[in-house]
Amino acid sequence: MQSPRRNAEGRPLGTCDPSSSGSPAHGGGSRFEFQSLLSSRMPGADPTSARLRASESPVHRRGSFPLAGAGSSQALPPQLPEEDRIDLNPSFLGIALRSLLAIDLWLSKKLGVCAGESSSWGSMRPLMKLLEISGHGIPWLLGTLYCLSRSDSWAGREVLMNLLFALLLDLLLVSLIKGLVRRRRPAHNQMDMFFTISVDKYSFPSGHTTRAALVSRFILNHLVLAIPLRVLVVLWAFILGLSRVMLGRHNVTDVAFGFFLGYMQYSIVDYCWLSPRTAPVLFVLWNQP
Ligand SMILES: CC(C)=CCC/C(C)=C/CC/C(C)=C/COP(=O)(O)O
């Protein structure tokens, strides 16, 4: 049997100090806690009446005890520890976010059909992992550096220099957000990714997806491609994002935000576009023998 949860005084919740009963305005806040805790934790309790009682009480609307009435000599009852308080009036935003999170987890689990070899689409896993490599940071960085070293035109060098800047900016922003948000990867993910850095144990946002959105927008804006190739670039980005969820690497919201972030990152790169005019030092340095 579980031991009962206790309040700040070490008293089991659901018991009430008789000395503190009475009007909340006179320091009897414990009674309201008792009522609301009881009605929301007891099986078969009526949550509506708990809410009504709570809304009548200034104690619960503000989530704290009122000051003792003027001249009252009764000591203020102690505050409940944070984990023992119940938000009886959650905001609309709170409910919406919690619902979105629940749908996200449910949908991500459903779509994680290549998460393991024994999953329903487990045979597709090698293909998904090939896609994973196509969006990895290392091949993109090395490929850009190689092309930059081989480029013999100013225009080509300028575009590649900006692609390098875009890839580095992406790594920086994704690492920063992953480190701040620290959302764990889905439980069904197998951590068998190729060449990761420490923040890659976190999943929000999907780095592959930000890169895919950023690079594809970059290519569409700076390379002259026939329509079928342009469609292919967009499809690659979209399928790469989807494959992150199918592999079980990410939740749907990690990928959705990844697309948004990658798209916005391109706008930053475009705004700060490096050219021999705006960043002459970079271009001169690159041309040193
Ligand atoms: C210059 C430097 C520090 C390069 C690091 C490149 C690198 C290891 C990128 C990590 C790529 C990666 C595994 C990202 C994780 O992607 P998710 O889609 O799983 O978030």
Encode pLDDT of 79-118 as tens digits: 666 656 666 677 889 999 999 999 999 999 999 999 999 9
* pLDDT per position as a tens digit, 214-266: 999 999 999 999 999 999 999 999 999 999 999 999 999 999 999 999 999 99
Which residues approach ligand 1 with their CB closer than 6 A? 136-138, 141, 171, 193, 195-197, 200, 206-208, 244, 249
pLDDT interval class at 74 (50, 70, 90): low
pLDDT interval class at 289 (50, 70, 90): low
CA dihedral 8, 13, 15, 20 (to 10 degrees): 40
Rounded to whole angstroms, the Cα distance separating 19 from 17 reads 5
Q: Supply the residue whose CA is at minimum distance from atom 11 of ligand 1.
A: 137
Take residue 127 and report the two structure tokens written for it: 């293909």
pLDDT interval class at 279 (50, 70, 90): confident
Please report the pLDDT score of residue 139 as a whole number: 97
Higher pLDDT, 104 or 18: 104
Average pLDDT of the segment spanning 256-281: 94
- Give me the catalytic one of 136, 188, 222, 250: 250
Pocket test for ligand 1, best of 108, 192, 196 (most atoms within 8 A of CB): 196
DSSP element (H, E) containing 37? helix 29-41
Cβ partners under 8 Å of residue 182, min gap 6: 202
Rounded to the nearest angstrom, the distance between the alpha carbon of 200 and the centre of ligand 1 is 7
Q: Are 67 and 74 in contact (CB under 8 A)?
A: no
Give me the chain's average pLDDT, please: 79
Please report the pLDDT score of residue 277 as a whole number: 86
- DSSP letter at 60 equals H
Higher pLDDT, 24 or 75: 75
* pLDDT per position as a tens digit, 157-207: 999 999 999 999 999 999 999 999 999 999 999 999 988 999 999 999 999
Backbone angles phi, psi at 114, to 5 degrees: -115, 20
- Indicate the residue type of 176: L
Where are any strands of DSSP class E within 70-165?
none
Rounded to whole angstroms, the Cα distance separating 245 from 159 reads 32
Rounded to whole angstroms, the Cα distance separating 17 from 77 reads 10
Q: Are 108 and 250 in contact (CB under 8 A)?
A: yes
Percent of the chain with pLDDT over 70: 68
pTM above 0.90, yes or no: no
Rounded to whole angstroms, the Cα distance separating 43 from 175 reads 45
Q: Is the pLDDT of residue 61 over 70?
A: no
Q: Is the pLDDT of residue 138 over 50?
A: yes
> Please, what is the angle between helix 137-150 and helix 207-222, to 10°?
30
Catalytic residue status for 222: no
Nearest 5°: the CA angle 28, 31, 36 is: 140
Cβ partners under 8 Å of residue 145, min gap 6: 164
Q: Are 249 and 191 in contact (CB under 8 A)?
A: no
Q: Is the pLDDT of residue 137 over 60?
A: yes
Q: Is the pLDDT of residue 16 over 90?
A: no
What ipTM score was computed for the predicted complex, to two decimals?
Answer: 0.93
Ligand 1 nearest atom to the CA of residue 194, by list position: 13
Q: Is the pLDDT of residue 73 over 90?
A: no
Q: Are 68 and 27 in contact (CB under 8 A)?
A: yes
Instruction: Count other Cβ atoms within 10 Å, centred on residue 215.
Output: 24
pLDDT interval class at 54 (50, 70, 90): very low
Length of the chain: 289
